[in-house]
Every structure is written in structure tokens, then in C-alpha cells.
Amino acid sequence: MEQLRIIIDALGSDSGVKSMSVAINKILTDFPEVCLTIVGDQDELIKNGVNSERVDFIDIKQTISNTDNIFDLLHSDTKFSILEALKLASSTKNIGVITAGNSGAALLGSMRYLSTIDQPVPCLAVIFANAKGKCTCLVDAGASLDCSAGQLQRFAQLGSNFMKKLYNIDQPRVGLLSVGTESTKGNKITKEAYKLLAADVSINFVGNVESNKLLNDVCDVMVCDGFAGNQVIKSCGGVVTNLIKEIMVYSMTHDEVTQKVCQQIVGHITEAYKLNSIGNGVILGANQLVIKCHGDGDPDTIKEAAHILVNVAKNKTLYD
């Protein structure tokens, strides 16, 4: 069995080393072909039960907080776990990096250490499950907030390549996020991007899509600038959280039978939309895949990140 190495930044998660250790052990159990290089506090990880022949440690205790100025730290002499993980990825054979640390550091570090092209534009892909059992990848989800039409085209290509590898889709359907389905609908950049995407033979462009169709399987890749994409993701997340909370509050003021049904419904929705694995952003545009898990990502979310890397790796490299 070919070994697949994943590099994990074990610091930076809001959930702490205990939760990260659980995640690491879940990955080791679920993916026997995976071996890990873990960048983090070795003693603490071992204390929390990380102990396997398939694990190498790089002992680093310094992390980047969400309030640190990333641009300063990129030129600092201090070794930060997230940046060391990315540097290591540039020089060793691996299938990708997982971090739950600072988003800016993950993005800038990926572009700095893992990109060979000039002035790469960072792009964050987020995958949504829909009730039809399929997934749509939204690019960009918040890495590049001011985009040109050409950058949106680049995101379309990156997203399309990613979905090809991740789900073995031959010609992923690429939709352009806009305010209406007609080609004339949109803001200035979107209308320009429409023309570029329509003329791009490397992708399967299906036209404009609206954000209320994200869960309706109308495209495999939904392209937008990072500002709009971030609104789509957070809006969806906010509504789901509120509705589930509303059901639970309703449940508490009713009888046992109602409570049981409420729990079943919430469980069903969680399962149908794979809500437990939401929170992973995949940084595209670098030479390796870097998965940025949500800061408070639970062990299952981190394990899902490994799942993505393994899936892509089994279809060989990302950009062949």
C-alpha cells in the first residue's frame, strides 16, 4: 500500500490540543494508508494519546493568533507551526496540509511557500453538500475580496480542476454567481467574467446561477469574488444555525414525543447536508492542497479534511 503523507499544523485550533489529538487518532484509524507529519507541541500531543509509528513530529510551540499581523510574522525569525508546516510541504513528498489556524497565515503562507507562479491569487474553495447527495464547490469563499474578471476565470479553472479530482467528475458544471440567470444580469465584474467564462474551452460553463440554488445541484462549481462568496457561506450558515436552534427551543417547551421527533429531524438535516463536516476551506492555486479547517473545527471536521486530501490523492496529483 502506497503511503500518503499529510502534514498537520496541530496548533492554532481554538478547540485545543486535546481535540486535535482526537482528530489525529481518528485519521490514523480511518485511513490506514495515511502517515502524518505533525507540526506542534510534541509532548502535549503524546500526553493526549497521539502515539503511532505512522506519525513524525516537528516540535514547535509557537502559533499565530487571529490578532497577529501576518505580514510582519512572515518575515520574523520565529518558527510558527502553520508556516513551518507549509514550508515543509514545499520540500517533502505529501498529499497536502491541514491547519485550523489563522486563515490569513494559511493563505499568504500557501502562496509564498507553495506557489511557483508570479503573483498568485489566493482562492478558498468551500464544499456544500446538497440533499441530492451531491456537492457544490464555491470559489472564492473569502480569500480574494477585490477581484478582476480574469481572476474569477482563474477561480473557475481551479475549482473545476479540484472537483474533477475530488469527485471524478468529467466536466464539472461551472456556474457564475449573479443576481439573475440571464447573461445580462450582474455587476460590472460579473458581466465581464461571464464573457470570459463563456469563451473558455477548458471549463464547462453553464451560465449565471443565483445563490438560492446553492443546495439545488444546479452546478458543481459556483464562481464569485471572495466578498460575495463569504456572504453566501455565512448567510447559509447563519440560517441553518438559527433554524436548528429554533427547532430545539420549540422542542424544549413541548412533550417527550415532540422532543424525540425534533431531535430526529435535526439529526436528519445534519446528516442530509453533512453539517458536521462543514467548516473546511480548501486553498487552491498553490502546488499542494492546503485545507483550512474552521478554528473551532471538531475532530470530525479535521478528519473530513484528511478525507478530502486522500480522495484527491487517489486520483493522482491535483494539477496534472
Q: Which stretch binds a second copy (CB under 8 A): 23-31, 92-100, 222-230, 311-319?
A: 222-230
Q: How many residues does the chain have?
A: 320
- Cβ neighbours for 155, distance < 8 A, ≥ 6 positions apart: 121, 123, 139, 140, 147, 223, 284
Per DSSP, what are the bridge partners of residue 37?
7, 56
Buried b (16+ CB within 10 A) or exposed e, 232-250: bbeebeeeeeeebeeeeee
The mark string for 271-300 relative to a second copy (x by CB under 8 A, - otherwise) is: -xx---------------------------
Nearest to 288 by CA among 87, 135, 128: 87
- If the CB atoms of residues 117 and 261 are measured against a second copy, the closer one turns out to be 261
Q: Tell the smallest beta-carbon distance from residue 258 to a second copy (Å).
A: 5
Q: Which stretch binds a second copy (CB under 8 A): 57-65, 116-124, 165-173, 260-268?
A: 260-268
Q: Tell the smallest beta-carbon distance from residue 288 to a second copy (Å).
A: 25
Does residue 142 interact with a second copy by CB under 8 A?
Answer: yes
- If the CB atoms of residues 47 and 245 are measured against a second copy, the closer one turns out to be 245
Question: What is the rounded end-to-end Cα distance, in angstroms, of the chain?
Answer: 22
3-class state of residue 78 by DSSP: coil
Q: Tell the smallest beta-carbon distance from residue 146 to a second copy (Å).
A: 5
Does residue 216 interact with a second copy by CB under 8 A?
Answer: yes
- If the CB atoms of residues 47 and 195 are measured against a second copy, the closer one turns out to be 195
Q: Which stretch binds a second copy (CB under 8 A): 3-11, 107-115, 239-247, 287-295?
A: 239-247
State the Cα–Cα distance between residues 24 and 22, nearest whole angstrom: 5
DSSP category for residue 277: G
Q: Tell the smallest beta-carbon distance from residue 110 to a second copy (Å).
A: 18
- If the CB atoms of residues 97 and 214 are measured against a second copy, the closer one turns out to be 214
State the Cα–Cα distance between residues 200 and 222, nearest whole angstrom: 16
Q: Which stretch binds a second copy (CB under 8 A): 2-10, 41-49, 142-150, 308-316?
A: 142-150
Of the residues 40, 109, 172, 226, which one makes contact with a second copy according to CB under 8 A: 226
Buried b (16+ CB within 10 A) or exposed e, 305-320: bbbbbbebbeeeebee
Q: Which stretch binds a second copy (CB under 8 A): 2-10, 87-95, 226-234, 286-294?
A: 226-234
Of the residues 55, 214, 282, 306, which one makes contact with a second copy according to CB under 8 A: 214
C-alpha cell at 94: 505529501
Q: How many residues bind a second copy (CB under 8 A)?
A: 51
The mark string for 86-125 relative to a second copy (x by CB under 8 A, - otherwise) is: ----------------------------------------
3-class state of residue 75 by DSSP: coil
State the Cα–Cα distance between residues 128 and 281, nearest whole angstrom: 11
